[in-house]
Structure 1
């Protein structure tokens, strides 16, 4: 069995989609039990949204439970642009696994995310000039790797594929093209904690002899369909605006709910009634938040609360969510903990069956990725 720990839900689901692509049986869970017979077990956490001390405690416990399952490979899925408590969590994993060395390869040239000369680039531009500069939790102000990881230069090594790796410590692997991922995968061994983005994980599977199938599944989504947008990326907001302009109603969070720290049940019920009515009449509805600066965690909690109320009021067959923290808040509110991935619709966009609710499919994607056309083609 291969075990993966991810620091957010959409990252976990992205790894699950890669597992499908390489012919593995896959399960995504939010808690680690003792019974599993899949090829790939992906543990989805929400530690990126936690304070660092809580995140480290959570990752320590999960790593210990996974170690008891004796996986052939333990991989840590980090954010590809290094948001979150990356170094602290890697040190926690390494301590439990008794690894002296960690190889972190976060970049993914297929998504035009590269690391060269100690600098991170998105589509050829320094990352601090991208939308990641406006991330509500981990805004990027510099493109230098030490800055992204919030550490001093002596705390990590930054190496190319031609370098001899240090015997200890955390090594960040530079990566400018897909062939670099393959070279890093060839340097992997069972005495090193392996971590990074989805591109590195796919390269590790190929190095182990797994063969990729065609990426992208044609799936017909059922109705009623509810899409929840919980991201600040402008491309996603433009996508929502286009849906609205096409005639589908988009229900933006009412301003009085945004402004109140603890909106009353009646306000949430009224909003849920509006969304449920859209699902009943149009079979499709979108929940989104206008571009308002406020506490991100509070908005996620309000969004999750109204989604639960919508589920109580009407049937939902397909739940689509963009944004890992929003997705984690919603599945926690709905008490969903185990999922079976069934379709990789496109890179990072994965459709799953909710184990506890047989008639519900959940499709997730990171906020910075795009929805495939099949998701909302009419």
Structure 2
């Protein structure tokens, strides 16, 4: 992560622990009229032309040990401390190095106060009395507690951040009195209206570090909306590719429905897809994960790169943050220029890379997001075929 002093501060900076979090943290601002770019981890922060827009940085810290995650988060927060609005995204099911990265971002940013609101009501993720739920089930009792790579250990934010003050959903106005003293403030929220009230209760948005999931990003974007940015419609894809690396049960159900579409070809390696003359081509990691998840992700990315060279695709759907990161890196991209947010928590854009690289449309989705037909709809969005 580069932290050279020549970095021009963007209007909005988003620090995320993986690629899908960066995409769905920036996408609401794009919808609200801000130009936005998402950078892969390790990319230089300067020279991306987002001084008047949004720069979302994938720190790749979910794959690191805690010490590495802290160092990378602190450095990025310091480099982007001059942003008008600084948002540290966290997973809405509390996976990853949540507490360590929040503290590191606070230290690097130089802010005195942190407003933490991880609720994402559109996906059924809510915060009640400082405890995180997914569709009314504590996240540490949900399927996310059994995540093979990043299991959730506790749903209680008071245990994760014992120094934090809990702010009730019915009293967000308490922030007005609490913030001048500094510290960490965990805000409960069950609806988008609750998140809007939290945002409205903070008198100076530049003075705090914001921490949350796409729900908070959307509330901040609504508060800071600009005139809608006009942009050309992305061209339809004729031969898109769907790459699924997430082991989340919700994504696997989505994969099963897409694979059942007429003519669909689904495989765990590139060879069966090379000669497949169908618009529904799917690469995925094995359903039974007996190998290291990182090895499976790298193998999937290598298969995508192999197809790019021998059976080119003109659109991508990527599911799972680590999958998306690995695939884009294998394709030589350094990020994504965002186009829109077709569904809550899902980002669509074009690959950003070398000047001679093709501007391939891409959609990225976190593993646990969406209903059972989400992948069918996203594939149809790329091809403009009614779903």
TM category, shorter: 0.7 to 0.9
- Counterparts of 1:238 and 1:104, CA distance in 2: 32
Task: From 303, 312, 322, give the equivalent of 1:315.
Answer: 312
The answer for unaligned runs of 5 or more in structure 1 is 254-270
Instruction: Give the structure 1 partner of residue 364 of structure 2.
Output: 364
Shift of 1:211: 7.3
Q: Secondary structure at the match of 1:243?
A: helix
Contact 1:127 1:140 in 2 (8 A): yes
Instruction: Give the structure 1 partner of residue 74 of structure 2.
Output: 60
- TM norm structure 2: 0.83
**Is residue 345 of structure 2 the alignment partner of residue 348 of structure 1?**
yes
Instruction: Give the structure 2 partner of residue 12 of structure 1.
Output: 22
Instruction: Give the structure 2 partner of residue 286 of structure 1.
Output: 282
Runs of 4+ deviating beyond 4 Å: 209-213, 217-220
Q: Trace 1:1-378 onto structure 2 (pairs within 5 A).
A: 1-30=11-40, 31=43, 32-37=45-50, 38-67=52-81, 70-147=82-159, 149=160, 153=162, 155-161=163-169, 162=171, 163=174, 164-165=177-178, 167-188=181-202, 189=204, 190-208=206-224, 210=226, 221-253=236-268, 271-278=269-276, 281-294=277-290, 295-356=292-353, 357-370=357-370, 371=374, 373=377, 375-376=379-380
1:133/1:220 CA distance change after superposition, 3 Å: farther
Q: Secondary structure at the match of 1:240?
A: helix
- TM norm structure 1: 0.84
Give RMSD over aligned pairs.
2.5
Size of the aligned set, in residue pairs, is 350
Q: Secondary structure at the match of 2:178?
A: coil
Shift of 1:34: 4.1
The answer for unaligned runs of 5 or more in structure 2 is 1-10, 381-385
Shift of 1:276: 1.8
- Counterparts of 2:225 and 2:347, CA distance in 1: 23
1:95/1:374 CA distance change after superposition, 3 Å: closer
- Counterparts of 2:225 and 2:327, CA distance in 1: 37
Contact 1:273 1:313 in 2 (8 A): no
Contact 2:270 2:283 in 1 (8 A): no
